[in-house]
C-alpha cells in the first residue's frame, strides 16, 4: 500500500495565557492512498487538532507530517496554499458556503481559484451537482436549502476538483440521523469511485463503521488503530 499521510511523533501544545494544553502527545500514524479513515474520540480528545495539523491549518509543536512524500510542516504559507489547492478538499460541519452565491457558484469556486477554463468548469460542476443529487437546487442560495442539501453542496465543492485527499471535520454534525446516513454513503461512494483518501473526524462510533481504518484518540494519544483493509481484501 502506498502511504498518503505519514504522521511521525507529532506533539501539539496550545498556550493560553500561562497555561499549556497538550492537545496531541507524540502521535504517529499512517493513512494509505484510497483509504477512508476516521478519527474517533470524545469531545476534547484532540481529533480536530490532529486533522488541522495534518491539513497544515495548525502548526506543530514538534514532529513531522508528510503528505504524498512532501514534508508539509516545512512548507511556507505560500507553498502550503498551492499544495492545498492542488491536492486537498475540505468538508466542514457548518458547511461554510458563501451565502450570496448559488449552489452552482459555490461549487464552482475552487475551480476558479485553480484557473480552470469556464467551459470545463461548467462541465465538472454539472457532473458533481448531479452526483450529489442537488441538480434541482442548482440556482438556490444556501439560505434556501435544508441542512442536508447545503452539505451536499459542501461535498460537491470539496470533490469537484477531484482532490486526492479530503478532510472532513464532523461533516454530519448538524444533520438528522437519516440525512447523516445518506451523506455518509455519498462521501464513501464518491471517494471509492475515484480512489480518493478521506480523513473524517467523528465522535460517533456508528459513523466510524463507514471507514476502512478507525483511529481512536483519547486525551491526545492514539488509543487504538483498527484496520478493516485486510479483511476487505480477502473478500
Residues that bind ligand ADP (CB under 6 A): 14, 16, 21, 23, 41, 43-49
Look at residue 89 and give the partner it binds from ligand ADP, Mg ion, none, a contact being a CB closer than 5 to 8 Å depending on partner kind.
Answer: none
From residue 10, alpha-carbon distances to 13, 25, 63, 220 in Å are 10, 7, 4, 10
Spatial contact of 160 and 116, defined as CB atoms under 8 Å apart: no
Span from 2-10, 42-50, 79-87, 137-145 in contact with Mg ion (CB under 5 A):
42-50
Within 115-174, the residues that bind Mg ion by CB under 5 A are none
Nearest distance from C-beta of residue 201 to ligand ADP, angstroms? 6
Q: What are phi and psi of 229, to 5 degrees?
A: -55, -50
Nearest distance from C-beta of residue 41 to Mg ion, angstroms? 9
Span from 46-54, 69-77, 122-130, 208-216 in contact with Mg ion (CB under 5 A):
46-54
* Grid cell in block for residue 110: 475552487
Angle at 201 between CA 27 and CA 49, to 5 degrees: 45
Nearest distance from C-beta of residue 48 to Mg ion, angstroms? 3
Q: Select 152 or 213, whichever has its Cβ closest to ligand ADP.
A: 213
Look at residue 21 and give the partner it binds from ligand ADP, Mg ion, none, a contact being a CB closer than 5 to 8 Å depending on partner kind.
Answer: ligand ADP
Residue from 45, 48, 150, 151 binding Mg ion (CB under 5 A): 48
Q: Select 48 or 197, whichever has its Cβ closest to Mg ion.
A: 48
Q: Select 47 or 121, whichever has its Cβ closest to ligand ADP.
A: 47
Q: Select 44 or 136, whichever has its Cβ closest to ligand ADP.
A: 44
Look at residue 106 and give the partner it binds from ligand ADP, Mg ion, none, a contact being a CB closer than 5 to 8 Å depending on partner kind.
Answer: none
In the block, cell 444556501 appears at 142
Q: Is 156 left (phi over 0), alpha (psi -120 to 50) or beta?
A: alpha
Cα(187)–Cα(181) distance, integer angstroms = 10
Q: Does 202 sit near Mg ion (CB under 5 A)? A: no
180-188 long-range contacts (CB < 8 A, ≥24 apart) are: 180/207, 182/148, 183/148, 183/151, 183/152, 183/155, 184/210, 185/210, 186/132, 186/133, 186/152, 186/155, 187/91, 187/155, 188/36
User: Which parts of this chain interact with Mg ion (CB under 5 A)?
Assistant: 48
Amino acid at each position: 500500500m502506498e502511504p498518503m499521510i505519514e504522521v511521525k511523533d507529532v506533539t501539539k501544545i496550545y498556550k493560553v495565557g500561562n497555561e499549556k494544553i497538550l492537545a496531541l502527545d507524540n502521535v504517529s500514524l499512517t493513512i494509505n492512498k484510497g483509504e477512508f479513515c476516521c478519527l474517533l474520540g470524545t469531545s476534547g480528545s484532540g481529533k480536530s487538532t490532529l486533522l488541522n495539523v495534518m491539513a497544515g491549518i495548525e502548526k506543530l509543536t514538534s514532529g513531522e507530517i508528510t503528505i504524498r512524500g512532501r514534508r508539509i510542516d516545512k512548507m511556507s504559507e505560500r507553498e502550503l496554499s498551492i499544495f492545498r489547492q492542488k491536492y486537498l478538499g475540505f468538508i466542514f460541519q457548518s458547511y461554510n458556503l458563501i451565502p450570496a452565491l448559488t449552489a452552482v457558484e459555490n461549487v464552482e469556486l475552487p475551480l476558479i481559484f485553480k484557473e480552470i477554463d469556464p467551459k470545463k468548469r461548467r462541465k465538472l460542476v454539472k457532473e458533481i451537482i448531479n452526483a450529489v443529487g442537488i441538480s434541482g437546487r442548482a440556482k438556490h442560495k444556501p439560505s434556501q436549502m435544508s441542512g442536508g442539501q447545503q452539505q451536499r453542496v459542501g461535498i460537491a465543492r470539496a470533490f469537484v476538483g477531484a482532490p486526492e485527499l479530503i478532510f472532513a471535520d464532523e461533516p454530519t454534525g448538524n444533520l438528522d440521523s437519516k440525512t447523516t446516513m445518506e451523506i455518509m454513503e455519498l462521501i464513501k461512494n464518491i471517494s471509492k469511485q475515484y480512489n480518493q483518501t478521506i480523513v473524517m473526524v467523528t465522535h460517533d462510533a456508528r459513523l466510524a463503521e463507514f471507514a476502512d481504518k478507525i483511529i481512536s484518540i483519547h486525551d491526545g494519544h492514539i488509543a487504538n488503530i483498527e484496520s478493516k483493509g485486510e479483511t476487505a481484501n480477502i473478500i
